Amino acid sequence: MRNVLLIHGGAGSDPSYSGRLNSYASFASEEISALDNAVKAVVKMEDDPDFNAGTGSVPRLDGSIQMDAAVMIPGHFGSVINIERVKNPVLVARDVMAKSPHIMISGDGAVKFARLMGYPDYDPTTEKAKKLLQQFEEEAEKNEIPDKFKIYFKYVKPHDTVGAVARVEGEFAGAVSTGGSFPMVRGRVGDSPIPGAGIYVGEKGAVVATGIGEEIAKNILSFRIYNRIGEKRLYDIVKEEVDKFSVSVGIIAVDEKDYAYYANRPMAVGIKEF
């Protein structure tokens, strides 16, 4: 069975970005391990301001940028939650897995850990992020909306993560990174940094989710799909599970024999078989 790296730009992302993602997948596939492939691809997307991760992250309602990221291989997991002022959260998540006794580090603790690991201060705030927040605040004021929680699902942007799954020489790995779902309060956590929700990798394969994190997490979507691997064709499993949702959801997955992707919204994907 050929090696494969499959990446996505988020449920709701512009499908015209797929060509760019194919190039990122080709670039990342030069690495020799499944984890290296997945992480390198996510770093490329974190550095691309068109995607909601790293430099392209959306703001919180207080104007801050807080990001989540996770990596996973069979039996090992690492994530950072609400990390700030780093360029590539996925690299910090990998260090949590490989260089710490923990599996999750959050908030200021995640920032301190990143500095300990040698990651310099970096402000991911872009003019696009500032404009997004300004437009929302102007609309909320215009429509006299006092409780912004009540309009979360009306205004939430449909694409909220980037992710990768890889099968290389029989090994599986996954990686995810996100700037969150705008509009959100400071401290909000979605599905991406939670094992079994936004990501799950085991001996049978790798699954990564994208979409409305609250719904994905409540349904433990990635583990549900992983647990069904081998039941039928991988694409059929993924489609059946995604079609249960009315909100924006997408999945990329790989098993021993196949790979699959499906979303109930447009979704840019990149694929490299090698």
Residue 37 lies in a domain: yes
Strand duo 67-73 + 76-83: pairing: antiparallel
Beta bridge partners, 163, equal 8, 176
Query: pTM for the complete prediction?
Result: 0.94
- How confident is the prediction for the chain on average, in pLDDT? 93
Which pLDDT does position 158 carry in this prediction? 58
Which pLDDT does position 140 carry in this prediction? 72
| Domain that residue 136 falls in | 4-179+188-203+264-273
Q: In 3-state terms, what secondary structure has residue 203?
A: coil
pLDDT in tens, 197-252: 999 999 999 999 999 999 999 999 999 999 999 999 999 999 999 999 999 999 99
Report how many domains make up the chain: 1
Which pLDDT does position 167 carry in this prediction? 98
Residue 244 lies in a domain: no
Q: Which residues are annotated as a binding site?
A: 188-191, 210-213
Active-site residues, by number, are 161
Which pLDDT does position 265 carry in this prediction? 95
Q: Which residues are annotated as a binding site for substrate?
A: 188-191, 210-213
Residue 249 lies in a domain: no
Residue 32 has pLDDT above 80, yes or no: yes
Residue 245 lies in a domain: no
Backbone angles phi, psi at 21, to 5 degrees: -65, -35
216 CB-side CA count, 13 A: 33
